A and B are shown apart, each in its own frame.
Chain A
Amino acid sequence: MTSLPADERIAGAGLLRRLLIRPELGSVVGAIAVFAFFSSQSPVFRSADGVANWLDPASTLGIMAVAIALLMIGGEFDLSAGVLTGTTGLVMVTLATKYGWNLWAAMLAGLVLALAIGFANGLLVVRTKLPSFIVTLGTFLMLQGLNLGVTKALTGTVQVSGLRRAEGYDGAQALLAGSVTVGGVDFRVAILWWIGVTALATWVLMRSRAGNWIFAVGGNEQAARAVGVPAARTKIALFMTTATAAWLVGSIMALRFTSVQANAGIGQEFIYIIAAVIGGCLLTGGYGSAIGASIGAVIFGMADKGIVFAGWDADWFKFFLGAMLLLATLANRLVRRYAEEVRR
């Protein structure tokens, strides 16, 4: 393999420039700042127990944020992703407790349903060419109604519970909702799932054909189609990916609490988008990173638990989240300007 000599014009400034246009940059700086801040406020925060504590909310959020980041890079939104975590959990618990299904079979049924909903979302967006914001807002509201209506009709209450008695619970619990002990500290096993999802998504984005297509359909769908990129297929697959992630998180949550509320997951959809945006995703698509979205989730987890560790009122959390979002979006806009500037 011959390597051509580097152009003399990219010497020196190249590294800094390359670093600056990384989509993750803002979130890395933000994460370091937030960690430093809460570490100085509370010694527990920086202890191993503390880390295990704030990595827990970061993990389930991170799995979703990574999937949403892929979708956003592909130029679409999914507002139904949050409520879908509730739907899949409800289906799984209902089938396992009320109808006596084996838990693994119930989980599989949840996956099939999630894939079907993701496919329907994608197909609607691709066929109607309506903004995905509207299409998935529609499915979001429909699922919200279904979750409540069906749960009430079947159980007479707004929750399903008793998963612990289901056949196959112990194995599934260990796999998705258990913990691993590292150096005497219990870490949730969901953290491993999160790391795995992030690694897989990063590989797909950076090192697979599909990754190239995702960037392309989000950057300029017409141009992508003109050079033979299967744009519709790519987008539908992305919606099915977020649905699969919602199923994974819904199953983790259901196994952890052994019950699911009918309103589970509602309101989370924006948190996923916020984490993805803090991680460098552009709202207009075509740019972003899976690692960035994961780091966005870490910031979220640190702030969520850090405020409690520091002994503050949890109300401050929302303020903090809003400020992070604004800062991140402003930083992203600068990056985009820089990347798109045309020198004539």
Chain B
Amino acid sequence: MAAKQNMNSRRDALKTLFRGAGLLSLGGAVWGSTAVTLKASELTLRPPGALDEYHFVKACIRCGTCVEACPYDTLQLATLDDHTAIGTPFFKPRLIPCYMCTDVPCVPVCPSGALDVKKIAKQNDGVKTGKPDINKAKMGVAMLDQEACLAYWGIQCDACYRACPLFGEAITLEFKRNERTGKHAFLKPVVHRDICTGCGLCEHACVTEKAAIFVLPRSVATGKVGAHYIKGWDKDDEERLRNLKEKKTEESSPEDELNDWEYLLDDE
């Protein structure tokens, strides 16, 4: 009798254990997939000085001090329907772009390190100072849809060119003869992605119904050639190959495969 009771209680204990484990894994699966879905936000533009998206969603504590520090109401905190990690800051340049405050008030107030002054540190003779430099921000990069751009049609419009805070650097105008009329010029805006901060003033200024120039996160808008392609005509790029070879003894990295391409150097 006692043995039977023991059996029952053991069976009950096992039942409870499995039921608990089942509930826990079900809950974990639902919860986990919700969290993963909510944070899958490749198209979100973050404030200046933000870590890369992968680390940013980990680091951000969702306190909104950056939002309150922003004098233009550019930044907002994501709510449930903003398709990004809930509570994290972002901006939509077509509504309100980043006006590139020279003192960058949004970055130093961040308590968690999700916005890092070091990422946009002002440089003095190549040495990083503690001060932020908004021109170093890489919030995104402006992309231009030539089909929708009036300037590429031959109609004179330089709204984006004039709105750009890095005037004449991040966007330049390319002059081309308009063969159709034979007597006019195209003034085509061209974005220089290494200078563009992604502030979105161009997107905000664009006169077309849906902006022909718009900011996308760099991770989305840029491609990557891969380390094994070397510009043989470019002295600096050749240097890159030599430097990597020297590095090899110190640490092994995925770029070690470069050594398979050493014969490219031997030609010289």
> Does A pair with B?
no
